[in-house]
Structures are given as structure tokens and as C-alpha cells.
Amino acid sequence: MSITKICCIGAGYVGGPTMAVIAQKCPQIQVTVVDLNQERIAAWNNEDVTTIPIYEPGLAEIVAEARGRNLFFSTDVEKAIDEAEMIFISVNTPTKTYGKGKGMAADLKFIELCARQIAKVAKDNKIVVEKSTLPVRTAEALKSILDHTGNGVQFQILSNPEFLAEGTAVSDLLAPDRILIGGDTTPEGEQAIQSLVAVYANWVAPEKILTTNVWSSELSKLTANAFLAQRISSINAMSELCEQTGADVNEVARAIGMDSRIGPKFLKASVGFGGSCFQKDILNLVYIAKSYGLHEVADYWEQVIIMNDHQKRRFSNKIVQTLYNTVADKKIALLGWAFKKDTNDTRESAAIYVADDLINEEARLTVYDPKVSFSKILSDLDYLESRTPGKNKEHIAAAATAYEACQNAHAIAILTEWDEFRSYDWQKIYDSMQKPAFVFDGRNILDVDQMKAIGFVYLGIGA
């Protein structure tokens, strides 16, 4: 089946960029991204493409090229479902905050709502593609809903997990390591798989398109994120040992990274990982393992999260202890709020938790991040419900520049590895600060010798 019309439900961090690239690379396919959030859709449709709701290098240019030609953003969900031959589901799957599995299991209520709406609207056969990260065997539940509440039409369910890293999502889409497509092993399932293979084949080499059964595809996404997060927690665990023994974690990472069996990636010690996927997916994996009675497996993966939480607490504790065991009424500049560079995504950012700890200690915080608004910073803190929103606003402010944030500060905490931080006039910043001037480099991005020569008391991770 040759696909001519695609619908994607969900205009977020996955759906928006993925569909933009498909539209750019497949001008013969009409791609419609739908979302009930009118404000978000309006932002995607704004004439000024620099104001689209997601910042990713190169994304605005791709949207500008394809939008209005064969890429459309709409709130008319039913019309897009009705017209499409292939429907991607790319809605949020947060961790449950209620009931059975609270704090671990994926909340699939949005996925189920999508399935019921597709079933209600569809008048002809559809291929439904899971793009959201989902627990293994979710396709089975989707198929049950579609087959039993539909209009007698036939649905094929495919799993096509995303493997995007925020900050490099566009390059990941344009030149992926692999495209993974899982589906039924029936003739109809194989035909559906090949329909999606043909879409990606417009720009992805055939040897990079892997096809599996649907369960393997679903589990592969959780496994990939678990392995990546595990590496970060592993090197962070070693960073604490390095600090106690006099070893340098950067030198350790370089030494083990040269082993071809290990490799150098994801061995950068830091204040901890964040983002929408790692913690959520590992907790989901833990829940799945527990639900099958695999408690040792669950304990193993849960330790990755425990180590990450410990690293964030350890960093904020180090700031307090170094500043003579009190930060009350001291100004601390936080450089970076996004969970990593080249994105405006703040979900599970280490900065949120470090700031929360420091506010508990009555510190006065000033934040600078080149892509994150002050309203977003406040909402991130308010979401934790550690204190009243008014209390957060009393203790935190935003600055237009890093130089302004650091003016009269007792200490600086670097929490995002933005490239611009490396090129600052650090002598100028030092001269504007209270003395002694402390720098807590939570990303190990600055030159230690240079910072110490200027006069800073410099503390990185694992050295």
C-alpha cells in the first residue's frame, strides 16, 4: 500500500519534528499534525517560524520549507483521522500519579483516548503507528480497543519507537542509526510494515531499517534508554569515589572509553541526567519487571534512578557545605535550566531539583538560560509542590544575561552544558562577584586551571 496521507496525533517534542522531516523528505505525502492544544497549534502555524513551540537546531528551517506545501498543523483531529491512511500516535505517556503502579507505571489514558477516537471516526482500513514510548504489549490493548469499538474496519498496529536525543533531534531524524518497525507476522501485518518502510526509504538506507515483531520493538525502546541512563549513573557513581580517592573522573572516563568494548559515549560525569524519557522509561521497566515477579531485575534497574537522584542531592549538598554550611540569603547564580544544551525542554532537569534544595536552605537564586523563560522556571518549581508558589517567587529570579546573573553572587552553579558558557569573559564575572567566588561546575565544561588562575574556588564533578 502506497501511503499518500499521514496523520499524527500529538504536536509535541516527538510528533512535531518527526512529521516535519517526513514531510520534507516525502513531498508526495500529505502530513497533518493534530493536537487539541489550540495555543500549541497556533504556535506551529505562526508566520515567524522562529516562534514554533520546540527549539531544535535546524527545525525551523524544515518547517518553513514544508509547511503549507504538504505539512499542516490543525486542531481538527477527526478530519485528519478520517482522511489518513496511516495514523501516528505521539501523545504523552507520563508516569502514573494515582492508583496501581503510581510513581512507576506508564499512564496510558491518552493512548486509549486516541484509540477510541480513531475507532469512532475511521470508515476505512487504517495503519496505526505507536510513536510514543510505551510498555511492551501495549499494541495488544490498542488492537483490542480498535477491533471491538470500531466501525467494522480493519486496523494494523505497528510499533515505530523514536530514538531522538533532544538538541540533535533533526540530525537524528535525517541520519538515524536505525529505524525500528515492529508489526504482526501475518500477511496483513507484513504489508503494513512494508508501507511504513517505504515512507522511510525516501531518505534512509535499507540496511538501517529494521523490522521485528511488535513486542520486540516496544521493549527495544525501553531497553535502549535504560542502557544509556545506566552508563550515566555508572560514571556518576565513580565520580563520587574519585573525589574521595584523588582520582579524576574525566581521566578515568577517557581511559575506559578507549576500550572498544565500552566506547566513549555517555561517560560524561555530571550533576545527573534529566529529560522526559530516561527516568520515566526506567520506572516503567521496573514496574513491568515487578508485574511479572522479576524482583531482582526490577531492583537492578531501579538502582539507576536511585543513583541519579543521589547525584543531584550530592551536588546541592556540596554547595551548602562548601559555603560554610549555610546559603541563607546568599546569592547563587544558576547557569542553565534546560536538562541539556540546544533544547528548551526542562522536564526532569537536574536544575529543578538543585534549585529546590537550595530554596529549602533559604538561598537567593538568579537563573540564566538562553532558551527557557522565567514563567517556565517558576512552573517547574511550583509543580514539585515543595512550598507555595509565592514562596518560590520570593527566592528565585531570572536574568537577561549570565553576567547579570552572576553580579554580586557568592557562587555559580553550572547546570546545563550550553556552549556559550565556555566563551565568557570569566575574569569579568569573577571581578563582579563576592569573594571568595565559588564555581560549582555540574557539567565539567570549564578549564580548571584557567578558573583557578583567575581566582575562583572551582569544584567540578569527580575531581
Active site residues per annotation: 277
Measured between alpha carbons, how far is 424 from 404 in angstroms, rounded to an integer? 12
Measured between alpha carbons, how far is 30 from 70 in angstroms, rounded to an integer? 5
Q: What is the DSSP string of 259-305?
A: STTT-STT----S---SSSHHHHHHHHHHHHHHTT-HHHHHHHHHHH
Identify whether the C-beta of residue 337 lies closer than 8 Å to the C-beta of residue 346.
yes
Q: Which helix (H) or strand (E) holds 155?
A: strand 155-159
Identify whether the C-beta of residue 262 lies closer than 8 Å to the C-beta of residue 256.
yes
Single-letter code of the amino acid located at 107: D
What does the buried/exposed string (b/e) look like for 130-149 if buried means 16 or more CB atoms within 10 Å of the residue's CB?
bbbbbbbebbebbbebbeee
Pairing of strands 331-335, 438-441: unpaired
**Closest alpha carbon to 357 in 271, 433, 438:** 271
Which residues pair with residue 209 across a beta bridge?
Answer: 179
C-alpha cell at 287: 514496574
Identify whether the C-beta of residue 170 lies closer than 8 Å to the C-beta of residue 58.
yes
Which residues pair with residue 397 across a beta bridge?
Answer: 366
Identify whether the C-beta of residue 51 lies closer than 8 Å to the C-beta of residue 94.
no
Q: Which residues contact 372 (CB under 8 A, 6 or more apart)?
A: 337, 338, 344, 346
Phi then psi dihedrals of residue 131, to 5 deg: -105, -30
Measured between alpha carbons, how far is 159 from 334 in angstroms, rounded to an integer? 40
